[in-house]
Chains A and B, each alone.
Chain A
């Protein structure tokens, strides 16, 4: 009991003092026929001291903290959902609770299969919260050899962010979203001014800080023209 009180007290101080941020990495390798591989990584290792402290508590700032088992269960749900999605195969996952790095990757027959993964979820979000997020996140037109990463900003993001307490907003201070797209053809041009084309023209890189994304100052929308 006493150990618990003292530990909780110290954890509380740790949580208040330790910095927290995260990085999301979205990597897509697209083949000429429109099939490819997608890998999404959530890297929270920069916040691991804070997360380790948070994970020992039941809840913080009024939010319930999931246990490792509960996170595992959620992972299983995601995998199950992916397995059910048409055109998705070779699903792999990694979990590292020591460093708080989690990845999920899978192969897809065409980018529509990837859109289908989130379609229902986004539709539900739009219906329940009157938002206008696109359900088509990716598209590929083989005849014009154009790959599109779609994104529609909705003010609901900013509104939700503004309802957070300043302590909770801190999480996004140093957070970032990185997109890497690799192609078999060479890249001719990109529409997003923040995106960079690799010197070998085989890849596009875009890193945006989370705050700019939340506030609508920058976004991940990108039209990538490949050379036929």
Chain B
């Protein structure tokens, strides 16, 4: 059944993709693919609108300068903006290939950008033209429909080059005149011979590699692969979805990437991690997908990690914590600049950690390291009482940046008399210092009380109505830190006023349902109140070039949110939302172009 679904979806995708979609040129063995959908972007902002923006005009001016006036605008460049641009990365046996595929409408237009030396070096082979750099690791290739850049690097050569030093590894110098002896000269000659041999070998490999890169480029452009294109890769197909995003990133099986990047044979036999670590168990089936959508009122990046069944089983309990709903009682969103919640389960982490480490080293090879790790994790599990430890630190925590307060600080300056004799004087200035509060759940009040008693006795803490000030902070630390315990929670914060209010039950809380939902439903949630932060930061704290743009930034910055969901099935989903102001921008893509324009002023 699964196979039928994949076959049907592959068919559907190949029909919906335009005949010229360059994705068919990406091999199924690609480790990562990044795509930018020109058509979707143009729906948000036409090429003409973009050309009229300051950023667009700037790019066009650069284009005109580079082409010596032959290309006046982006349209003249001959790119097919309505099509999809792709980048892919492939690792094969220590050879890294980066490839950019750019759709063309007019294959000749962009050649105005080439330098005379590049035009001279251009080779025409049938309907395709290409330039290869002197080292041979970069190829620019194009035909009527595609412009392609291939940048490769050969990581095998680097491995070999180090072995040259091995010739010098064990020298025993006993005689004083050793360096003038015939034996030494003979050894030197042999070493020189070996060096030349290796150099020759390296040069040969470079020549060979240069041909490999060129052949590879031709193969990509032709799109004829024995293993077929990426459209036969199940994980990639699954990541495609409805295709409404403006840009997407897909990263293939991490285990394959590691194994291809550093093949086992490159590491030799002694202490080869592949012998005692099970990379496949840890990273096998782990893929990453991210999609960027420019919506009308927000820009959203959605990410999805997918892992193998075994890893999902191990990780699930770690992220399956319960957030303490009482955290919300001590937050007032009117004063809140941002927060971060983390919803881990200490019990889950402690139970999962030994399994994770055991799996990692479980190669079945009987290697001493693997066996020792298995023994160690077993002992760890026996010694640690997960449930009792979780009573001290349950794993749910909340950090809020509550305010920016202005604090008067002194500094030394000089006062000069008319003869330029000077004396040191003390002046004051205002600094903006953040207030924060950090809370975590702990059922062990007894442990807290004992620690506090020791702290007070050792003069590390100063008691003040149930709130304790840390007094061992390094001098000049710009804020104080207070600590207290209440209702199964430990509080750490910089505002004595807030902590006193919490301790005496006078704290006024306010938190919207949307925030409460984000905090409780997700494994981790981050919120940044962009508008409030920019409004509260003193203008002089901005870089000089931004100081006159503070008003613009204040009226054009909204909230930024990041939520990381709990593991469902085999996946972990994340979502970054960048909200934009309701007025002044047609959509979030135009918003970012407008911001760039404003910053260019």
Contacts and interface: CB of A to CB of B under 8 A. Distances in A.
Interface in A166-222: 166-167, 169-170, 173, 180, 182, 196, 198-200, 202-205
B38 interface: no
Interface string B479-496: 101000000000010100
Given A18-B431, A167-B543, A198-B419, A52 B478 contact: yes
Contacts of B476: 48-49, 51-52, 55, 97-98
A78 B570 CA distance: 60
Interface in A104-145: none
Nearest to B416: A205
Interface in B215-247: none
B420 A180 contact: yes
Interface in B391-434: 397, 399, 401, 404, 407, 409, 411-414, 416, 418-422, 429, 431-434
Interface in B254-270: none
B434 A45 contact: no
B411 A45 contact: yes
B126 interface: no
A17 B416 contact: no
A225 to B, nearest CB: 18
Nearest to B438: A6
Contacts of A199: 418-419
A48 B479 CA distance: 13
Given A166-B543, A202-B419, A48 B475 contact: no
A25 interface: yes
B543 A14 contact: no
B89 interface: no
Contacts of B494: 10
A9 B478 contact: no
Given A13-B401, A98-B476, A18 B419 contact: no
B477 A13 contact: no
A200 B418 CA distance: 8
B481 A14 contact: no
B88 to A, nearest CB: 30
Q: State which size class the interface on A falls in.
A: 35 or more
A168 to B, nearest CB: 10
B352 to A, nearest CB: 19
Given A6-B492, A10-B494, A17-B404, A46 B481 contact: no
Contacts of A43: 412-414
B412 A99 contact: yes
Contacts of B478: 14, 18, 49, 52-53
B416 A25 contact: no
A53 to B, nearest CB: 6
A17 B411 contact: no
Interface string A91-104: 00000011101000
Nearest to A14: B478
A174 to B, nearest CB: 9
Contact of B419 (A55, A98, A169, A200): A200
A56 interface: yes
- Scoring B432, B475, B478, B540 by chain A CB atoms within 10 A of each residue's CB, the highest score goes to B478
Nearest to B479: A10
Interface string B510-530: 000000000000000000000
B411 to A, nearest CB: 4
Interface in A23-78: 23, 25, 43, 45-46, 48-49, 51-53, 55-56
A170 B543 CA distance: 6
Contacts of B413: 43, 45-46
A222 to B, nearest CB: 14
Contacts of A202: 419
A198 B418 contact: yes
A45 B412 contact: yes
Given A9-B436, A19-B431, 6 more contacts: A14-B478, A18-B478, A18-B541, A23-B414, A49-B409, A97-B475
19 contacts: A2-B397, A6-B438, A10-B434, A13-B401, A13-B434, A14-B433, A16-B541, A17-B431, A49-B476, A51-B476, A52-B477, A55-B476, A98-B475, A169-B543, A180-B422, A182-B420, A198-B418, A199-B418, A202-B419
Interface of B: 397, 399, 401, 404, 407, 409, 411-414, 416, 418-422, 429, 431-434, 436, 438, 440, 470, 474-479, 481, 492, 494, 537-538, 540-541, 543-545
The 9 nearest A-B residue pairs measured at CB:
A52-B476, A45-B411, A45-B412, A13-B434, A205-B420, A203-B420, A198-B419, A46-B411, A49-B478
